[in-house]
């Protein structure tokens, strides 16, 4: 997920309008995310923890239902 955010950010930085609405949506979800270098790093940290928590919840749910 952090790599996806990085790719979206790179494409949005290279174009004038493509994926800018996606970036605006992600900016409303992840505090501190933007199209500057440090803002992209902050967004990647947010998405890493977001994906880690989601993975933990899915694994826990799977283990509960598999018994």
> Percent of the chain, pLDDT > 90?
93
Q: Concatenate the DSSP letters of all residues of 5-42 into one string.
A: HHHHHHHHHHSSSTTHHHHHHHHHHSTT--SSHHHHHH
Work out the end-to-end distance of the chain between its first and last CA atoms, rounded to an integer number of angstroms: 29
Helical axes 20-29 vs 2-14, angle rounded to 10°? 140
Q: What is the pLDDT of residues 17-44, one digit of tens each?
A: 899 999 999 999 999 999 999 999 999 9
The reported pTM is 0.85
Provide the pLDDT for residue 65. 96
Q: Please, which residues have CB within 8 angstroms of residue 44's CB and are 6 or more apart in sequence?
A: 2, 5, 6
Lookup: tokens for 31: 């505090």
């Amino acid at each position: 997920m952090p790599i996806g955010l990085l790719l979206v950010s790179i494409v949005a930085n290279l174009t004038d309008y493509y994926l800018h609405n996606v970036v605006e949506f992600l900016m409303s979800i992840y505090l501190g995310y933007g199209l500057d270098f440090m803002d992209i790093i902050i967004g990647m940290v947010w998405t890493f923890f977001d994906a880690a928590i989601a993975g933990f919840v899915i694994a826990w749910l799977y283990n509960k239902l598999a018994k």
